[in-house]
């Protein structure tokens, strides 16, 4: 095991225990619907007449925040590797990463990052239709369901986590899975954003 192998393994562990998943979903829901419920979103309306711009701006700000969190996570994990594992030659290699694994490492990081960025789009979509509590419940149910749906043969090809986990666990890069994964993210992202913005425009924030 070398440094980036350890770092990606930790990122994968965080994914499987759904730490980032729930943090992103709940914070995104609170960011949009929470401000609608407590009417604080009215502060934005005089400065920005377009609700679409408010929706998109909040989406972008949360996405940037999570990218920063991911960078911090990687930096901290790399530091931990150098502090505690680099000297354990019995279990770790004194190598940052192996050149032959560069492509798979890059695809792993990008795939994971885009999955979490997609969750922000989905959380915003939910919070456009439901109050914070119901949105959070639906987000939790959806997250649990995907862990079951990804193993059902005639449904799994429509589930993001099916492709994501194939990318994460593949020894050899499967470009077909990567293409279908990002295609689904694009399609679902467009649908959720269009429906979310349309509903958000109709919300009563007065």
pLDDT tens digits for range 37-46 = 666 666 666 6
pTM: 0.87
What is the chain's Cα-based Rg?
19
Residue numbers in the chain where pLDDT is lower than 70: 1-2, 35-49, 85-97, 204-206
Instruction: Please give the pLDDT value at position 189.
Output: 94
Instruction: Please give the pLDDT value at position 56.
Output: 87
93 phi, psi to nearest 5 deg: -100, 145
Alpha-helical runs (H) found in the chain:
3-16, 19-29, 35-37, 51-80, 102-129, 132-149, 160-169, 175-202
Would residue 131 be called left, alpha or beta, if left means φ above 0 and alpha means ψ between -120 and 50 degrees?
beta
Domains: count for the chain: 1
Whether the Cβ atoms of residue 92 and residue 86 lie closer than 8 Å to each other: yes
User: Rounded to an integer, what distance in angstroms lies between the CA atom of residue 54 and that of residue 60?
Assistant: 10
Cβ-in-10-Å burial (0-12, 13-18, 19+) of 182 comes to middle
Structural domain including 21 reads 3-202
Which residues are CB-neighbours of 77 under 8 A, at least 6 positions away?
6, 7, 10, 11
User: Rounded to an integer, what distance in angstroms lies between the CA atom of residue 173 and that of residue 154?
Assistant: 23
Size (the chain), residues: 206
Instruction: Please give the pLDDT value at position 33.
Output: 74
13 phi, psi to nearest 5 deg: -60, -45
């Amino acid at each position: 095991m070398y440094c980036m192998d350890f770092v990606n393994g930790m990122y994968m562990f965080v994914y499987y225990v759904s730490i980032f998943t729930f943090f992103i979903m709940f914070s995104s829901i609170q960011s949009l619907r929470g401000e609608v419920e407590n009417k604080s979103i009215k502060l934005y309306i005089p400065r920005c007449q377009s609700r679409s711009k408010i929706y998109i701006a909040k989406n972008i700000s949360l996405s940037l925040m999570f990218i920063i969190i991911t960078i911090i996570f990687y930096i901290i994990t790399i530091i931990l590797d150098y502090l505690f594992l680099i000297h354990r030659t019995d279990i770790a290699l004194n190598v940052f990463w192996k050149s032959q694994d560069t492509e798979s490492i890059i695809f792993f990081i990008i795939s994971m990052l885009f999955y979490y960025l997609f969750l922000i789009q989905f959380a915003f979509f939910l919070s456009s239709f439901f109050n914070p509590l119901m949105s959070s419940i639906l987000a939790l149910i959806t997250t649990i369901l995907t862990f079951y749906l990804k193993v059902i043969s005639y449904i799994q090809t429509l589930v993001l986590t099916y492709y994501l986990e194939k990318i994460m666990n593949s020894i050899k890069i499967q470009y077909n899975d990567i293409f279908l994964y990002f295609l689904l993210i694009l399609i679902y992202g467009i649908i959720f954003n269009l429906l979310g913005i349309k509903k958000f425009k109709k919300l009563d924030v007065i």
